[in-house]
Structure 1
Amino acid sequence: MFDSSMILDSVIFSSGTTKTIIYESGMQEIGEVVCAVGVFDGMHQGHQFLIDQAVTEARQRNLPSMVVTFDCDPDELFLPNEKVKKLFSNADRLAWLATRDLDYVLIIPFRDELAKTEPRQFMDHMFTTVVRPKSIHVGQDFRYGHKASGKVADLRKWADAHQCCVHAHILVCDNGLPVTATRIRDALAQGRLDEANALLTRPYYVRATVVRGREVGRELGFPTANIATTQPYATIADGVYGGYVYVDDVPYKAAISVGAPATFQGVGPTIEAHLIDFEGDIYLQDVKVAFVEKIREMRSFESVEQLKETVMANIAWARDNL
């Protein structure tokens, strides 16, 4: 199970003026707030809009703004035998929330007991003992409680009994289609990186560890970092990308290859990145890999010289265009 203490440490480090709190029984009451509620798994346009609406109303009413979320994606609990293809880690999701100009981020530990709670008791658990929401912002498809049986209509009934109003927002659309995490995952898997990044409003990235590789790039004169992701991220289509590799939070322009190299037989899917103007040994170091633009598809080459020429062109593109 995800370690909540790790989340809190990560969020406070980058939280600015936002106070991040992990819910626990008997904790100090916060009082009246305007809040947005959700998992915010994609940190995308729609989630940004929802949070911004709550912040705007809070300022107008001179009340603290808050996001109420969970320490993990509920699908991790509901689908324990499946690898949930996440866009971002829980730590990154919560750290991002702490950058949204909020007064509070309240993190609810999501465990079996809470997952089996009926909708009314679910809301009581989240709110009545710690905060008194005067206004709640959710998406129109918001679901909560045991087997996601609670709907917006149920939330409004609960809110009416607690002198609170509910704003259920329609899904934000881009090019006529709703902005959802599923749409972003599909765009990444189908090679539409520009679309995915536009919906996210920033380059898609993964966190990973540098591991030992075949060192073919070094033999060709283009040393690469062989990268193993640390969790089951959403699939990104095979291809060569321009992007950045962050080493100790310092970004380096990079040409990034995703997938099995077609020229070399018997080699499985990999992520390899050539960091431009970087010198040093980053073996076993944790890095962040951001994908800015797709340069080309993966393809095989008739000769090593042809491969080298193409790699040189990829690196030149990344150097000149990023």
Structure 2
Amino acid sequence: MTKHRIGVVGAGAIGQLIFQQLSTSTSPLPNKLSVQLICRESESQQQTLFFTNINHAVQHKMITVLGQHTPKIKKLDVIIVCVKAYQVDDLIDALLPTLAQNCHIILLHNGMGPHISLARKLSDYPQMGLSLATTSQGALRSAKWQITHTGIGQTTLGHYSGLALKQPLKEAILEAIPNASWHDHILSALWQKLVINCAINPLTAFYQCKNGQLANDEYKAEITQIITECIIVAKADNVELDDLACHELVYQVITLTSNNLSSMYQDIYHQRQTEIDYISGYIVARGTHHNINVPANTLNLQRIKSLETKYQQ
């Protein structure tokens, strides 16, 4: 039986969650999967992973976490890149020379932007392909090798450029990740997720509140303007988004994740770099490209940049 070799790059909360789901699935197709977790360090290391599933059951297992210099990376059929958006370019530059010539790359991160530069790089690798993914699953990392699955959500994947992901691999990944689906127009799905992130993440980080607080009337006008600007910029990028559907999605997420602290809120709280350049910043950049004024998203970009500057001094 042919094994499909998959590497999950990035050992953060989502990276470890996807690794757990791919490596422990009991459905028939993923039995043919060989899954490796790859960290951003250069050398491999033995680690015990602790995982609390959605039903609060705690599991643990010892694995070899591959370093980026291990020859095993050359044998991978697919890598799923689960790092912060601002880490993608440098990581791919380091990995590309070590990957198999026909390795397929899947990007899974918040925000948008890295797919554009990566697609250009892959023009020099004609046997490779690029797919994009987004997930609304929740995961919390309480220690470096200890995560908790905090929320059931949808994971969506789709083709972006280069050679398509081989059908057996596609089926195996979709079977292994719960509530995963293939989207033929992946940019539309990513834009919908971007609208949600633009409306929730910077506001919760700036106002230092849980997601649910944004349901209050005092935030309604600000959220409406953010969504409107995103829809206008998306249309200029040839992606049609429905205004009513976007509003419903945003408030649905606010309700379903009412007790959650957004990733951007947590980044600000822990004085870490945020992904604002790939969320509000992406809207501002594409707006500038199309000569579209986006004041609400520009304000959010400036707000978060200001907060980052305070703790970087």
| TM-score interval, smaller chain | under 0.3
In our comparison, the structure showing a higher alpha carbon Rg is: 1
Give 1 or 2: higher strand fraction. Answer: 1
Report the TM-score when normalising by structure 1.
0.25
TM-score by length of 2: 0.26
